[in-house]
Amino acid sequence: MEPELNDGLDRLVWMPEPMEAPVRWVDHEPISDRFAGLFWDDPMWHYVKPSIADHWAKAVSSFGIAVSALTRDVATETMDSSWLEDATLPRILPYRNERFGIRRSDFDRVDVVDVRVTRHRSEDGRWGYNREELQRLGVVTELPFVASMGLPPEISKVDQLDRTIESLRGLTSGKSKILISISAASVAQDFPALMSMDWDGFVLRGDDDGFDGLILASILRHMRSQLSSIGKKNSMLWVVPPPLSPDNIAKLIVLAADAVAVDSWCDPFLWNSSESSSFLSSEDRCHNQVQTTIGSDVDRVRGLVYAAKHRQASSALGTTDSEISRLLDLPLISTSAFGSIGKSQ
Amino acid sequence: MTAPTPPRRPSHSSPVNPANHSAAAPDKSPSSGSSGSVDQPATEPLTEFAAQIDWEIGAPQDHMEMIQAMSAADPDEVWPNLRIFNADRTHFFLAGLNASVRLQVDSPLGSHVMAYASHGEARIVGDVGHSAGDGLCGGVMRIRGNAGDGLGVGMTGGTVAVYGSAGDRVGALIRGGGVFVRGNVGNDCGYGALGGMIVIGGNAGHRLGLASQNVSIFIRGKVASLADGMTEAPLRKRELLRLGMVMINASIRGEAKEFRRIVPVETLDLEKSRRGEVNPSWR
């Protein structure tokens, strides 16, 4: 996939391995490590039929990308989901405040519950759900549009969210990770109130607020530092950035994130499928399409992250920008010896 | 998930092993008034329901499997009556219930009782915690006690009846089914509701009907404050009949005409603009 954006993360560079570093003869990831640190955060399943959605979910998750979906997104009363039946494929349950479409069975086998304490925004930019989304989520209403909520309906303040977390622990029998989604713009306001609760981590949502990848990296590092101060350094920190290239996604992972959303890579599968109902209807064809389109990008992210895994972020990445160097505590690469050409970069 | 006090099993009793019994044809005469496999504690008063008990079971971790195994094979068959003891303050009790059984639980329960249940009937004698009937999509739950916050949140079907009072956000976001509270309810009742029915026999707190659409809210007592854009109106003929039937079925005392309905101002204006809608003239 071509890098689409001029993101601030482009200003970070990969630092070379020290020349004296010993060669690691076995330099590959274990095959059993299926999760690539990537996830498909908010697929627009209403674009395609559940049977097609099921193929795409299975194809994408087989590349180690965790996929977010409700049972009703990928299955019907008469058709089971082959994706859901495969317990080895990573799955996220999108737990929206309105709980539209959620069934008891959704909690049965799920790796991560994404508690979205953020308002849902429809495609047209409004806070809510349009008719097509409502239809897919099984909401029977005459209204053309239903506004979304900022908090789960059973609570009125963020500091009561532990009640919702407790309920999800019970519904998943404690087997799933509970992540709290918060907007990057509200971290300063909401994060302190959430820190003492019984979650497993956070999903930082920066796509909707227009945040640059570099700013998200600095927010993530701030969050990680706050978590370290309360003894929760190893909590999961996922991030939903604006569209990024594989290299910049790897940089985010090396800097602070445990997983990064790749909706900009995966959403086109659904758009293209919706244009022709017969297009790519078989499981194999979906798998091949994923392989052809994003297979090398996933490998690239895996490779870069693996190469940097045994090093601190501060030695794996550097920058020629003094401000970024200070912001992210990364080594400043001196370019003074190269004159004006170096400085202009 | 249970509260700090773990379920206790009295030494004089043992749980039924459903594998050894046919739920559809229990070999126990209900008329005897005692349990199918264990001695009835002599000190415990029998309720009307308990007099018809077919089986008693304890509340071990796998109680849901037992209940499922004792379910009537066909919903049209006679449902077995089960009494569950030792469920004291258990959280998520009967969560996901989907069985053709009638249950009586003689103890207070924790949070999320019958959450996401889809079928079956339960009568709970005692208070329940927060979020009872959370996500309910079918079945009936009667609570002879008080309920915490978030009663019936996100329901899409079924019935929840509370004979005491309930906390904040009763019936928030419901889209179907009915929530009945004989006593008072707290703040934000009916918040974001998109359908279904909420009946309040007592008083309501602040912001009643907040951001609700298309839900039928009926109240008999006082309202601390209505949400913006909501107003009170008398019941229409059809609602009097509907509520009257509901009250009879739910054994709620009084008459339907004692209630008012809470509706969006826009909806009431629309009704008024339709001739004969509010005050039908039969002449």
pLDDT of residue A247: 94
pLDDT digit string (tens) for A213-237?
999 999 999 999 999 999 998 899 9
Task: Quote the Cα angle for B170-B174-B175, to 5°.
Answer: 160
- The reported pLDDT for the residue numbered A140 is 81
Q: What pLDDT, on the 0 to 100 scale, is given for residue B3?
A: 40
Q: What percent of chain B has pLDDT over 70?
A: 75
Residue with tokens 């400085």: A343
Q: What is the pLDDT of residues B116-173, one digit of tens each?
A: 999 999 999 999 999 999 999 999 999 999 999 999 999 999 999 999 999 999 999 9
Cα distance between residue A318 and residue A332, in whole Å: 6
What percent of chain A shows pLDDT beyond 90?
Answer: 48
CB of A139 within 8 Å of any CB in chain B?
yes
User: Which amino acid appears at position A76 of this protein?
Assistant: T
Element at A144 (helix H, strand E):
none
Nearest Cα residue to B246 out of B178, B196, B158: B178
pLDDT at B24 over 50: no
Q: For residue range A78-94, list pLDDT tens digits in order.
A: 889 999 998 888 999 99
Residue-wise pLDDT tens digits, B46-78:
344 445 666 666 655 667 888 888 888 888 888
**Contact indicator for B43, B85 with CB cutoff of 8 Å:** no
- Smallest CA-to-CA distance from B105 within B50, B158, B170, B36 is with B50
pLDDT higher than threshold 60 for residue A68: yes
**ipTM for the assembly:** 0.77
For tokens 């077919």, the residue is: B54
pLDDT at A25: 53
| Mean pLDDT, rounded, of chain B | 79
Diameter of chain B measured on Cα atoms? 72
Nearest CA in chain B to A160: B149
Closest Cβ–Cβ partner in A99, A103, A170 for B91: A170
CB-based contact B173 A99, cutoff 8 Å? yes
pLDDT band at B39 (very low <50, low <70, confident <90, very high): very low
From chain A, the residues in CB contact with B96 under 8 A are 104
Q: Which of A32-36, A48-52, A197-201, A266-270 has the lowest mean pLDDT?
A: A32-36
- The percentage of residues in chain A with a pLDDT greater than 70, rounded to a whole number, is 87
pLDDT at residue number B148: 95
Distance from CA of B207 to the nearest CA of A (A): 12
pLDDT for the residue A93: 96
Characterize B218-252 residue by residue with b for buried, 16 or more Cβ atoms within 10 angstroms of its Cβ, and e for exposed.
bbbeebeebbeebbebebeeebeebbbebbeebeb
Cross-chain Cβ contact A153/B153 below 8 Å: yes
Measured between CB atoms, does A141 come within 8 Å of chain B?
Answer: yes
Return the higher-pLDDT residue of A178 and B31. Answer: A178
- Identify from B61, B64, B116, B213 which residue to disrupt to test chain A contact, counting A C-beta atoms within 10 A and taking the largest count: B116
Enumerate residues 84 to 113 of chain A having a beta carbon within 8 A of any beta carbon in chain B.
98-99, 102-104, 107
> Is pLDDT at A278 greater than 70 in this prediction?
no
Give the pLDDT score at A71.
94
Average pLDDT, chain A: 86
Integer angstrom CA distances of residue A166 from A156, B40, B112, B203: 16, 35, 10, 30
Using CA coordinates, name the residue in chain B closest to A102. B135
| Closest among B164, B70, B152 to B124, alpha carbons compared | B164
**A148: nearest CA in chain B?**
B192
Mean pLDDT of A35-40: 91
CA distance A100 to chain B (A): 8
User: What's the confidence (pLDDT) of residue B31?
Assistant: 34
pTM of the model: 0.81
Question: In the prediction, which pLDDT does B16 show?
Answer: 39
- Nearest chain A residue to B148 by CA: give it: A154
Is the pLDDT confidence value at A29 over 90?
no
Q: Is the model more confident about B189 or about A138?
A: B189
Asked if residues B99 and B82 have their Cβ atoms less than 8 Å apart, the reply is no
Contact A297, A246 (CB under 8 A): yes
Q: What are the pLDDT digits (tens) for A122-148?
A: 888 899 999 999 999 988 878 888 989
Residues of B in Cβ contact (< 8 Å) with A168: none
What is the pLDDT, as a whole number, of residue B7?
32
Residues of B with CB below 8 A from A131's CB?
Answer: none
Residue keyed to tokens 């790749």: A262
Q: What is the mean pLDDT of residues B102-122?
A: 93
The residue among B156, B174, B185, B212 with the most chain A CBs within 10 A of its CB, best to mutate, is B156
pLDDT at residue number B20: 34
